[in-house]
Every structure is written in C-alpha cells, then in structure tokens.
Amino acid sequence: MTLRVAILLFIITTLLNAQDGPALLERMMTVLEPENSQAQMTQIINTTSGAKREFHYEYYTAGKGEKVLIRYTSPARSRGMATLMLNNARDIWTYFPRTKRVRKLASSAKRQNFEGSDFTYEDMGSGNTWREDFFATRLDDKTIQDEPCYTLQLTPKPETDTNYSKLVIFVRKTDYSPLEIHYYDSDDRHIKTLFFQDIRNVEGIPTAFKMVMKNRLENSSTVMGIESITYDVTYPAGFFTERELRK
C-alpha cells in the first residue's frame, strides 16, 4: 500500500513538473512581461577601458512589453532625450530636446546597442515576441545561483530578425522568475549573459531589482537597477505616440 502511494505521488509530481518548452515560456513571460509597468531606473555602463557611465531614466511599458517609452532624467546632457519602441522594438523613434526633433531609426537599429550599453534595443523591448518568433525547448534542469531551475532554450524561427542564434534561459522553479539568460551569436558563441538579481515581490510579481548584462566578447558590463516600480498603472490613449515623445 505504501509503495503504491509513493508511486502515485511520484507520478503526480512528475506530471506537475513535466512542462514542455512553450508552456514553460508562457509561465515565465507572465513574470517577465506584466501588462503595464512604470519604473525609475538606473543604468551603469562599465566599459572595456574601465570607464563608468551612469544614466537615470523613467521607464514605461504597456501591452506586455509591446510598447516601451524611456525618458532620460540624467546626466544633464541626456536629460529630456526619449526613446519610443513600438511593435516589440520593430519601430523605434528617438526625441532630441536640443533640436526638438524626432527621428525614426532604421528597422536594423533593433539589433544595435541601446545607448552604448551591453543591451540591444531587442533585449530591451522584444521579450514579448519570444512566443511567436522563437521555438521553445526544455533542456535538462540545472542549479543556478544555488536555486533549482528549469532550462529553456529559444531558437529563432527562420524568418525572425534577431541578433541571436539561440537563448538559454534558466528559470527558477519556485516562481518562474528567470535567473540567467545566455545569449549566443550566429557562430554559436556564448557572447553575453544577463543575470537577474535582488528579486523582490512587487504587487505579486517577482521583480529583479538588479539586472547585470555581462558582455563576454568586450569584457564590459551594464547594470540596470530599479529605483522604484509599480505594475498598477494605466496609460491614457496616445501615451505611447510620437507626440507624447516630444513632451
């Protein structure tokens, strides 16, 4: 009898844990891309030469990350500059307060570094496309940062416009919060790692207050820190538009 109960428990536990790649991706995305958010953020770029550059900005997202608006508050020379990303960073505009003009960036800009950091526009604003643009496969579980994790591999579909040949994501089993993302280039080299640290629960959503992108090729890193964040926010119509960008 005891043996039967044990086998039954084992089967139930295995079934509960047996998530396929897409299901795992879906669970993770609910944590990674909440409906809306508003945050005050800090970005510190540590360059190869040892120089350090620090930026502060306001960060607004809507539509599960499909729309992103970033407005710089410091340093003084960047204050007022703003970037709008729509359609998961497929369309990008930048506003220059000095000339009061808005420039639309080329579609290829998505693959370029965001403000000289180790994040690309794609890393900043296209997480939501992982569901449609990537194949998700679950690999063997790993322990990362002393936490048991699922391992999820994303490979782009043939028509996907992306910098990467694959992403390997380590998702914490307890709350589906990603702990690390490994980025691979077209030569299958592991080029960058994004670490999610200082994860706190904000309004029921596990939120990494510190994200560190380490560039293995350039020996540089960028640290993004959240100073404050809320997910309980709604935006008026027209907030994520070129006109709003100029305000």
Interface with other proteins (CB under 8 A), residue from 77, 132, 146, 247: 77
Q: How far is the CB of 70 from other proteins (least distance, A)?
A: 11
List of long-range contacts for 87-90, beta carbons under 8 Å, 24+ apart: 88/125, 88/126, 88/127, 88/128, 88/129, 89/121, 89/122, 89/124, 89/125, 89/126, 90/126
Q: Does 47 bind other proteins (CB under 8 A)?
A: yes
In terms of phi and psi (left: phi > 0; alpha: psi -120 to 50; beta: otherwise), the region of 4 is: alpha
Q: Kindly compute the dihedral angle of the four CA atoms of residues 83, 129, 61, 220, in this order, to the nearest 10 degrees.
A: -60
Cα–Cα distance list, 114 to 123, 126, 134, 200, 213 (Å): 9, 13, 22, 26, 12
Interface with other proteins (CB under 8 A), residue from 2, 49, 143, 234: 49
Q: Does 14 bind other proteins (CB under 8 A)?
A: no
How far is it, in rounded angstroms, from Cα 44 to Cα 56? 9
Q: Does 227 bind other proteins (CB under 8 A)?
A: no
How far is it, in rounded angstroms, from Cα 56 to Cα 64? 22
Q: Does 55 bind other proteins (CB under 8 A)?
A: yes
Q: How far is the CB of 214 from other proteins (least distance, A)?
A: 14
Q: Does 13 bind other proteins (CB under 8 A)?
A: no
Q: Does 106 bind other proteins (CB under 8 A)?
A: yes
58 with 71: CB under 8 angstroms?
Answer: yes
Question: String of b and e for 216-232 (b: at least 16 CB within 10 Å)?
Answer: eeeebbbbbbbeebebe
Q: How far is the CB of 85 from other proteins (least distance, A)?
A: 15
Q: Does 230 bind other proteins (CB under 8 A)?
A: no
Interface with other proteins (CB under 8 A), residue from 219, 228, 230, 242: 219
Q: How far is the CB of 187 from other proteins (least distance, A)?
A: 8
Q: Does 247 bind other proteins (CB under 8 A)?
A: no
Q: Does 10 bind other proteins (CB under 8 A)?
A: no
By beta-carbon proximity to other proteins, the closer residue of 78 and 197 is 78
Q: Does 113 bind other proteins (CB under 8 A)?
A: yes
Which residues of the shown chain bind other proteins in the complex (CB under 8 A)? Answer: 45, 47-49, 51-55, 72, 74-78, 81, 94, 96, 98-99, 101, 103-106, 108-109, 112-113, 115-116, 217-219
